[in-house]
Amino acid sequence: MTRTYYRAVEQWPVTRDDFLSDEAKGRRPRREQIENPVLYTGVSVFAGPFAIAVRRERFPAFPRHTVALSIPEGAPVRVEKTLGRGHHTVIGDADLLMSYVVGLVE
Q: Which tens digits make up the pLDDT trace of 14-41?
A: 999 999 999 999 999 999 999 999 999 9
In the sheet that 65-72 helps form, which strands lie side by side, from edge to edge? 78-81, 87-91, 43-46, 2-9, 65-72, 101-104
86 pLDDT more than 80 = yes
Q: What is the pLDDT of residue 79?
A: 97
106 confidence band (pLDDT: 50, 70, 90): confident
The answer to pTM > 0.75 is: yes
Residues 6 or more apart whose Cβ sits within 8 Å of residue 28:
none
Q: Is the model more confident about 106 or about 63?
A: 63
Work out the angle at residue 33's Cα, subtended by the Cα atoms of residues 28 and 47, and round it to the nearest 5 degrees.
125
Bond into 60 cis (ω within 30): no
- Average pLDDT of every residue of the chain: 96
